[in-house]
């Protein structure tokens, strides 16, 4: 891999060309005018060291303070460009790190949220069924009373008593049911955990399977590892 380094003419930032692609580094106007547009090339060796080479004989390049035309260097060496000794930061030569965040633990967060909601809904449904049971018992009592001989009729009241007890129990269940608060807790817990591991933004009420279809966090743009 060959990297060419010089001064960007318009911004006067450090211009780094890798594989034909130019990237700018540093603050505007940070590179002095005695650094030319294509000042020096770096060629990486298999050993990890670099050959630094002056592109133009009019350019001045220093390695550890000594002017060179071409020299093998490592990252411990100090490379300076131009008469005003502009120091090259080795970071500028490195591949820009593509940051990723692992979002796989969010699948469990989504599952727990779903499960929590389902459990609350099942309980609400059961409470609803419990409320309609007494009507059934009362009706049954009436039917039984109309069918049995007179001496057994009083036993039909058992159904009414059972209906009453079930009704009382049902009311008790409804009054002690905390599912609205619980729903709120499940929701809060979800909002707290279903977040981008990088920037902490809540990722919304979307299914994990849909979330993984996006490549990056919509807020900080960090790539998702999935
Ligand atoms: Zn983010």
Question: What are 42's two structure tokens?
Answer: 């770096």
Query: In this structure, what are the phi and psi dihedrals at residue 21, rounded to the nearest 5 degrees?
Result: -105, 130
Question: What are 126's two structure tokens?
Answer: 């059961």
Question: What are 179's two structure tokens?
Answer: 């599912």
The Å distance, Cα 202 to ligand 1 centre, comes to 9
The Å distance, Cα 92 to ligand 1 centre, comes to 25
The Å distance, Cα 203 to ligand 1 centre, comes to 9
Q: What is the mean pLDDT of residues 107-124?
A: 95
The Å distance, Cα 225 to ligand 1 centre, comes to 12
pLDDT at 96: 65
For residues 149 and 39, the model is more confident at 39
The Å distance, Cα 100 to ligand 1 centre, comes to 10
Q: Domain ranges in the chain?
A: 2-93, 101-225
pLDDT digits (tens, 9 = 90+) for 52-90: 999 988 999 999 999 999 999 999 999 999 999 999 998
Q: What is the CA radius of gyration of the chain?
A: 38
The Å distance, Cα 56 to ligand 1 centre, comes to 45
pLDDT at 78: 96
The Å distance, Cα 221 to ligand 1 centre, comes to 6
pLDDT at 120: 94
For the chain, the average pLDDT equals: 92
pLDDT digits (tens, 9 = 90+) for 171-183: 998 888 888 899 9
Model confidence at 98: pLDDT above 80: no
pLDDT digits (tens, 9 = 90+) for 173-216: 888 888 889 999 999 999 999 999 999 999 999 999 999 999 99
Q: What is the mean pLDDT of residues 96-115?
A: 91
The Å distance, Cα 26 to ligand 1 centre, comes to 25
Distance CA 100, CA 222 (A): 6
The Å distance, Cα 199 to ligand 1 centre, comes to 4
pLDDT at 144: 85
Three-state SS sequence of 95-163: CCCCCEEECCCHHHHHHHHHHHHHHHHHHHHHHHHHHHHHHHHHHHHHHHHHHCCHHHHHHHHHHHHHH
pTM: 0.55
pLDDT category at 154 given cuts 50, 70, 90 is confident
Percent of the chain scoring above 90 in pLDDT:
65
202-206 contacts: CB < 8 A, separation 24 or more?
A: 203/106
Q: Which fold has domain 2-93?
A: Tumour Suppressor Smad4 (2.60.200)
């Amino acid at each position: 891999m060959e990297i060419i380094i010089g001064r960007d003419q318009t911004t006067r930032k450090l211009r780094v060309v890798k594989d034909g692609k130019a990237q700018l580094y540093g603050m505007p106007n940070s590179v002095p005018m005695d650094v030319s547009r294509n000042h020096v090339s770096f060629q990486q060796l298999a050993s990890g060291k670099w050959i630094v080479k002056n592109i133009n004989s009019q350019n001045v390049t220093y390695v550890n303070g000594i002017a060179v035309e071409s020299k093998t260097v490592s990252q411990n060496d100090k490379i300076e460009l131009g008469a005003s000794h502009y120091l090259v930061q080795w970071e500028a030569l490195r591949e820009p790190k593509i940051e990723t965040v692992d979002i796989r633990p969010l699948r469990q967060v989504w599952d727990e949220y779903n499960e929590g909601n389902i459990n609350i809904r099942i309980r609400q449904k059961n409470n609803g069924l419990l409320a309609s049971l007494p009507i059934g018992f009362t009706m049954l009592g009436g039917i039984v009373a109309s069918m049995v001989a007179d001496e057994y009729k009083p036993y039909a009241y058992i159904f009414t008593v059972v209906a009453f007890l079930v009704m009382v129990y049902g009311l008790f269940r409804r009054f002690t049911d905390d599912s609205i608060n619980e729903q709120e807790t499940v929701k809060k817990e979800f909002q707290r955990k279903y977040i981008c591991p990088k920037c902490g933004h809540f990722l919304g009420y979307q299914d994990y399977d849909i979330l993984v279809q996006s490549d990056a966090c919509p807020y900080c743009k960090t790539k998702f590892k999935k």
